[in-house]
Chain A
């Protein structure tokens, strides 16, 4: 990664929202502190009062909640360049936890500095809201995924989503990627059991949709995988694609 964390943040905002030079400079001037953390570290826990908002510089993280009985549901996977807990920017108690999937570098930005910036500069405010709204759209799709798709489609869908999001940040190609999740974590992201996930992955492989070597997933039939997943990338609101979707109507 040649870009500084704030440049990554800026690049994500500018992929969907125009920003002036003054706005760009204001973002690049934000106070920030880098930290390297091991896999499994918590960035924030449910019930915590947030003091910082952070950007994932390298590595992967996930949002999760626990039910009263202690089962875990993973809510989303964060990839490099994602703002991790801007969800907490104006909410005073964190309603979920964020934990690292892999050893990662994160950039902490004091919450107050960010609050001041987005309230003082409307264009930055709208740009950050835009990113937050895309996260919300992904959450809606996850409600659909665990609510109404069968096990095979759920797993295929999460693989497609991950691939397309990584590709949009030039972090993977549709040929394949290194999946940073265990089968247990995949199960917790799809509302299944690990045994069921294992069976589904074997099935997708047997049908020639993917091939696997340890955690490396190759897409041997990308189109069939998307069909199986009922995957329509509209909900990701990728740069430029909303305009295309409208033009095609």
Chain B
């Protein structure tokens, strides 16, 4: 039973958006899963790998990234518990990017074929998976805008708003205080900035009493102010919960 329980948060999240019947829920909870744990910075998926499974994050944070041929890294998204980190690999044959753990992670790996059989047999689950992939795309679009057309202060503020809101929605933070294990280097790689520039930008957000960031904790002191600086409008998250 402990294995199937790992998918409970996923079922709960899907159930908030799609009408899942008891049969749908049982089908998801009945998926064969392999529990895995990853230490900080481990690779969960590597670019170029043949895809065999999809991974639900149970505990910890993960991120998608791509490496350039000169070794530069661009982080493409962050993931929090109850989310798939690589749902596209249920359909696409080859992984087109890497997935890494941000801190210690516990995951439930589901064989690709079992997941696709489930999608085949249960329309409501197919819909839930579909909405996940569409929201992923919407977040990618917003990230293109963020790195393409916002200045450094807005980029960092936007990313902090996104993460704070998503964490709050899953109950992982409250009263504006969040467990925030990202390093400045990772913030830089997610926003297309240098680490030095990121540091300076964080200091300016701090000076303006918008945030406090220390010892892996983010405090949002002025949510409205931070949203304004970040040009943040949550429409693109499509009420992801």
Contacts and interface: CB of A to CB of B under 8 A. Distances in A.
Chain A contact-residue range equals 35 or more
A47 B94 contact: no
Interface string B72-109: 11101000000000001001111011000000000000
Contact of A67 (B50, B74, B97, B149): B149
Given A140-B140, A237-B94, A65 B145 contact: yes
Secondary structure at the A interface, as helix, strand, loop or mixed, is: helix
Contacts of B149: 67, 71-73, 188, 191
B13 interface: no
B18 to A, nearest CB: 9
B126 interface: yes
Contacts of A130: 91-92
B150 A95 contact: no
B238 A91 contact: yes
Secondary structure at the B interface, as helix, strand, loop or mixed, is: helix
Contacts of B121: 122
Contacts of B91: 126, 129-130, 133
Contacts of B142: 65, 95
B62 to A, nearest CB: 15
Interface string B39-55: 00000000110100000
Interface string A184-195: 000010110000
B66 interface: yes
Contacts of A96: 138, 141
B43 to A, nearest CB: 16
B1 interface: no
A90 B124 CA distance: 12
Interface of B: 47-48, 50, 64, 66, 68-70, 72-74, 76, 88, 91-94, 96-97, 116, 119-121, 123, 126-127, 129-131, 133-138, 140-145, 147-150, 154, 189, 191-192, 231, 233, 235-236, 238
21 contacts: A68-B233, A71-B149, A75-B141, A89-B130, A90-B134, A91-B135, A91-B238, A92-B238, A119-B126, A122-B121, A134-B92, A137-B88, A143-B76, A143-B147, A191-B147, A230-B69, A234-B96, A237-B94, A237-B96, A245-B48, A245-B93
